[in-house]
Amino acid sequence: MFCPLCSGTTMGRVGSNQYFCSECFLEFCFKKDNIIVYEIDNDGDLQFIGEIDGSHKDLIVLEKSRMFLAL
């Protein structure tokens, strides 16, 4: 199991289809072909920040004016 953003291997499972990367501190929810990316705020709540299109794995569009490119 590799992190879809940083390719790190420190992904921990936190739900039935949710994983947390302790390198980028983001949570990923796997939904069909897409991966929903969440950030954990100071209250411990999940904040939606974007979605990885599974058919274009190299491009990740995140909301909140942030954009990441997967390696």
- Residues lying near Zn ion in the complex (CB under 5 A) are found at 3, 5-6, 8, 21, 23-24
Question: Least distance (Å) from Zn ion to the CB of residue 59?
Answer: 17
In terms of residues, how long is the chain? 71
Question: Least distance (Å) from Zn ion to the CB of residue 39?
Answer: 12
Cβ-proximal residues to 63 (8 Å cutoff; 6+ apart), any chain:
48, 49, 50
Question: Least distance (Å) from Zn ion to the CB of residue 24?
Answer: 3
Contact 37, 26 (CB under 8 A): yes
Quick one: 5 or 35, whose CB is closer to Zn ion?
5
